[in-house]
Amino acid sequence: MFDFQYFTPTKVVFGKNKEEKVAELIKEFGGTKILIHYGGGSVVRSGLLKRVTDTLDTAGIKYVTLGGAVPNPHLGLVYEGIELCKKENVDFLLAVGGGSAIDSAKAIGYGVANEGEVWDFYDYKRKATGCLPLGVILTIAATGSEMSDSSVITKEEGLVKRGYSSDYSRPKFAILNPELTMTLPDYQTACGCTDIMMHTMERYFTNGGNMEITDALAEGLLRTVKKNAVILRDDPKNYDARAEVMWAGSLAHNGLTGCGNDGGDWMTHKLEHELGGLYDVAHGAGLAAVWGSWARYVYKNCLPRFKKFALNVMEVENTGSDEEIALRGIEAMEDFYRSIKMPTNLRELGVNPTEEELVDMAHKCAVGVGGQMGSAKVLDEEAMLAIYRASI
């Protein structure tokens, strides 16, 4: 068991119509001039943005708006947001949307609170010393950015996708109304469930320092999302299932399910990042497409965890050798992916890389992680290429 720090200061306000509390919460955390940052048109079309601005108008809180945050949010829009905040003396950011809007807002927050080039933080060149305070109204349960310390930004030039984490960017509040996620396309809901589970699975499949209580919480969270993802497939307007998944999304990535271990494996995410850089694929679907190949490549080096996962999460039969049980768990996970129409390989994901592209992705992935990475099994460039090849 390793030492750890646990810091989740975000005030979560969870339930129906809770977006009505937004002005009250902004005032509680000292916001006087707001940048409302959002993504595509759905926030506008659904009337949510109008409801939010009406609430701020009534409360006498001034604001400016900036839409356009896209999946894999772009650095260009971050620059635009920083400039707008400085020009308008913005002192509080409100992200309305999913991970794209939140991550983009976090980057804007770093840019306003720190002198110099904001990309430096994402390029590992220096550390931020602050971030503009940030609140969230969440519309997609997936990335967990609403409670996490992390954000991922893509620099358009060369399509470089990088993450930066610091406690400064943990949102002050997060409004979680499960009803706001009911209009999501089924595919996005399933991608979200996959992403949520993967955030905890990345922390779970390790060879270092695991705590029993962390495992128990992680397994409970995974079972809950697995069950409710299937309920939502058949009944997308099921409020309770939306709520289970939404709350799981925040807990899966706020640090809770990693306390006491070595930080996690995270190679599935890294392998997917290169896919997401090369192809226009949804993050959750990309994760599902490579996970099985990753799992089969590494499970023998992390057998006790894969066995535990098979029994306690996938609830497979406890018979046969440890290897057989572990493999049965991997197969059961892939069956689950198929059951919610997630891919289990690149073909099902709808991409068909050439051998040259696989080599290129493996190379970029290896460079991106500094040569090698992983806890279930440490992977080098050759291993990454083998997993990509197996995932065709």
- Residues near its own copies, by CB under 8 A: 1-9, 11-16, 18, 211-213, 215-217, 219-221, 223-224, 227-228, 239-240, 243-244, 247-248, 251, 256, 259-260
Kindly state the smallest distance separating residue 51's Cβ from its own copies, in Å: 18
The values of phi and psi at residue 94, to 5°, are: -125, 115
Kindly state the smallest distance separating residue 120's Cβ from its own copies, in Å: 24
201-223 exposure pattern, b = at least 16 Cβ within 10 A, e = fewer? bbbbbbbebbbeebbebbbebbe
CA–CA gap between residue 311 and residue 102 (Å, rounded): 36
CA–CA gap between residue 188 and residue 391 (Å, rounded): 22
CA–CA gap between residue 305 and residue 317 (Å, rounded): 16
**Strand positions, DSSP E, 170-318:** 173-176
> Which two structure tokens, joined as six digits, stand for 241?
């299932």
Place of tokens 């289990």: 344
Residue with Cβ nearer its own copies (208 or 368):
208
Residue with Cβ nearer its own copies (18 or 273):
18
Residue with Cβ nearer its own copies (12 or 82):
12
Kindly state the smallest distance separating residue 253's Cβ from its own copies, in Å: 14
Which residues neighbour 88 within 8 Å (Cβ) at sequence distance 6 or greater?
A: 33, 35, 64
Kindly state the smallest distance separating residue 38's Cβ from its own copies, in Å: 24
Kindly state the smallest distance separating residue 283's Cβ from its own copies, in Å: 22
- Coil, helix or strand at residue 109: helix
Kindly state the smallest distance separating residue 268's Cβ from its own copies, in Å: 22
Residue with Cβ nearer its own copies (3 or 234):
3
Residue with Cβ nearer its own copies (11 or 363):
11
Residue with Cβ nearer its own copies (104 or 148):
148
